[in-house]
Amino acid sequence: MSHRPSSLSHQLWLSIFAVSVAMLLLLGWSFIYLEPGTPSYVIGQVSAAIVIVTTLGTLIALSSDWAPF
């Protein structure tokens, strides 16, 4: 496996991905204590959808080696 130099963009995407995964884990843990049908549960679902889209977007950026910076 060849080691390629890590660019600033690659490091940025990895950082965003790590933060997104951490947020998903914390959000998933919070669903244990939320009751379905409450406003807090709905906010949790919307937040989970946003974080999942962010996570998928960073995975696409990482796999395509997109370097906007």
Specify the amino acid at residue 45: Q
**CA 35 – CA 19 distance, rounded (Å):** 26
Q: Which DSSP state fits 5?
A: P
The answer to whether the CB of 6 falls within 8 A of the CB of 37 is: no
For the entire predicted model, the pTM comes to 0.80
Residue 2 has pLDDT above 70, yes or no: no
| Alpha-carbon 24 to chain mean position | 7
**Residue range 19-57, pLDDT digits in tens:** 999 999 999 999 999 999 999 999 999 999 999 999 999
| Tokens, residue 57 | 């977007």
The answer to whether the CB of 27 falls within 8 A of the CB of 61 is: no
